[in-house]
Amino acid sequence: MKVIGFGAALVDKQFLIKDEALNDLGLEKGLMTLNSEEEQNELLTFLQDQNYNQISSCGGSATNSIYAAAALGTTSGFIGKVAQDEDGEIYNADLKDNNIEISNCITSSDGKTGNCIVLITPDAERTMNTYLGVSSETKFSEINFEQVSATNLLFMEAYVVTSPDTKDTAKKLIKSCHESNIKIALSLSDPGIVAGFKDELKSWMDKKIDYLFCNHEEAKTFCGADNLEDLRNYAKTIFITYGVNPTIVLEEKQTYEIPAYEAKAVDTNGAGDMFAGGVIHGLSEGWENAESVKFGNFLASKGVAEIGPRLKKNKYLEYLKEFSKK
């Protein structure tokens, strides 16, 4: 297995809504909000009462990236936790259907599987409301690290910093991967997460990790200013996406930009996850950073042109072939 992900094992529940509805709900566009089970149920009931159509699939930031990498042919696994309920079955079935190893995706006999309500407005922006459920309870002692030690890369999402159990697990995974010479990649995930947990996230990178994924807003929030060069203190290679603008790549001895591909965006949900999945696949195949980023940009441009955080399964290899001909 070439890569294993760690993150919140969630089921995405996606809704296309108007800006007025977002305002009525008092939600700030483009950010992720953590909800209690009661708050999440109230929001879900409101949306269903308004007859908004719902699309459900396995989700979570790291899950989406690992799903993309696996669909492209990268042997992959995932670390997370679901419950013995319908959403847990949906989540595990989606991963297994994409040949993702789930022996480290723990099933809890108690609690509920987490979910993320994704509200997509006409400008293609997504606003997320997350109930973590049992995904917040993944403990390091539950993980089969022998499987992890057989991989080349650990890919994590910063969302796991929000819960005591997953925060502790992340720190121990990072330490163990350093000791086992396994490469480490982290996605900063969300500007709100970076703002609220910046010091903790920096402590995870007291010893430089290999790859840091972020968008421009997350990078600015992390650095506290426009001094993006500060990111070099935390990772050997940094990938900074910037919407339709070129992706900035910071390596130890050089900085360069890779142009984005033109796209007619209908849903930006998962664009960063799709980008990371493409880059992970490229890196796992031994491509140079620049070529991996170019492919990540290409895949993200395809992703934002469709509703949902991922493509239809057969589309990944189709787009890989299309990219290879360029």
Is the Cα dihedral 57, 58, 60, 61 positive or negative?
negative
Categorize the per-residue pLDDT at 54 as very low, low, confident or very high, splitting at 50, 70 and 90.
Answer: confident
How do 55-59 and 245-250 pair as beta strands? unpaired
Encoding tokens for residue 220? 């600015």
Encoding tokens for residue 103? 């022996």
Distance between CA atoms of 243 and 118, rounded to whole angstroms?
19
Report whether pLDDT(80) > 80.
yes
Q: Among 153, 158, 160, which Cα is nearest to 211's?
A: 153
Domain assignment of residue 80, given as a range: 3-10+60-113+136-324
- What are the pLDDT digits (tens) for 179-218? 999 999 999 999 999 999 999 999 999 999 999 999 999 9
* 141 part of a folded domain: yes
Q: What is the CATH number of the domain that holds 176?
A: 3.40.1190.20
Report whether pLDDT(307) > 90.
no
Q: Is the pTM of this model over 0.75?
A: yes
Can you give the pLDDT at residue 319? 95
* 148 part of a folded domain: yes
* 227 part of a folded domain: yes
Q: Between the CA of residue 38 and those of 130, 131, 217, what are the distances in Å? A: 12, 9, 31
Q: Between the CA of residue 204 and those of 25, 42, 109, 130, 145, what are the distances in Å? A: 35, 35, 31, 23, 19
* 86 part of a folded domain: yes
* 43 part of a folded domain: no
- What are the pLDDT digits (tens) for 153-184? 999 999 999 999 999 999 999 999 999 999 99
* 192 part of a folded domain: yes
Three-state SS string over the chain comes to CCEEEECCCEEEEEEECCHHHHHHCCCCCCCEEECCHHHHHHHHHHHHHCCCCCEEEEECHHHHHHHHHHHCCCCEEEEEEEECCHHHHHHHHHHHHCCEECCCEEEECCCCEEEEEEEECCCCCEEEEEEEEHHHHCCHHHCCHHHHHCCCEEEEEHHHHHCHHHHHHHHHHHHHHHHCCCEEEEECCCHHHHHHHHHHHHHHCCCCEEEEEEEHHHHHHHHCCCCHHHHHHCEEEEEEEECCEEEEEECCCCEEEECCCCCCCCCCCCHHHHHHHHHHHHHHCCCCHHHHHHHHHHHHHHHCCCCCCCCCHHHHHHHHHHHHCC
* 25 part of a folded domain: no
Report whether pLDDT(268) > 90.
no
Mean of pLDDT over the chain: 93
Look at the chain and report how many structural domains it folds into: 1
Distance between CA atoms of 172 and 165, rounded to whole angstroms?
11
State residue 112 phi and psi, 5-degree precision.
Answer: -130, 150
* 19 part of a folded domain: no
Contacts of 48 (CB under 8 A, 6+ apart): 54
Encoding tokens for residue 2? 């070439």
